[in-house]
Amino acid sequence: MMRALVFQHMDHDHPGRFVDFFAADGIVPEPVRLFEGQEIPPLAPYDVLFVLGGAQDTWQEDQFPWLAAEKQAIREWVAERAKPYFGVCLGHQLLAAALGGEVALAEEGEVGVFDVTLTAEAASHRLMQGLEPSHKVMQWHMAEVKRVPEQARVLASSARTRVQALAVGEHAMSTQFHCEFSPQTVASWSSLPSYVANLEKHRGAGAYPRLVREAFPLMPQMERMTRRMYDNLALASGLRK
């Protein structure tokens, strides 16, 4: 069995539909709960690095000292080892920050279902092959990548956020949107009052049932998009032989 190192920043958070993808490829996810003080293990034994979202911001190292070690690990993994990487939301922003880009508060955040469009460069990039030009995705972020690292390429954008997807070579990619959210992920929020309260903070009373009604019919197409991106990465990076 191969091993996926998963950097976790919040309780009850997990790679969502990627767990199914990992299982099909014989990959066991092994989370590191950084927010609880768990230390990052040596990277060499792992085959893929998956970095989740979180309420933290990339620049809050004084408040969350482990962010410095996390960025160093991401830099080592992507820039030095050139091994398969996928990051979502905070994991997307941390990839940019670790490689010399800039992340800051967004002028206008995105919470809910929004449209993203592939860039012209994505049309010829191996990690985005087989995807339609535009997609509805789930968002939950108040920060964004402002400056892209020199070695990265922008593969998707939205009306509010220019950098919705990044690629570094053919072995690392990340999305600002939450492509890992599955029906099970969203359904689980009904038993997490803090998640529902945070959603209502941004979208008003009754936001959770409204989001369920909007998002659930779109889940099959979201799964197809995510599956295609994962398959492209697995093949291009050599994760899948």
**Which residues are catalytically annotated?**
89, 178, 180
Residue with tokens 């959210």: 181
C-beta separation of 211 from 200 below 8 A: no
**What pairs with residue 103 in β-bridges?**
145
Rounded CA separation 83/2 (Å): 13
Which one-letter DSSP state was computed for residue 129?
T
Rounded CA separation 79/98 (Å): 9
Rounded CA separation 5/209 (Å): 33
Query: Could you tell me if residue 238 is left (phi over 0), alpha (psi between -120 and 50 degrees) or otherwise beta?
Result: left
112's CB contacts (< 8 A; 6+ apart) are 138, 139, 203, 207, 211, 214
Task: Write out the E strands in 119-205.
Answer: 134-147, 152-157, 165-168, 172-175
Residue with tokens 């038993």: 191
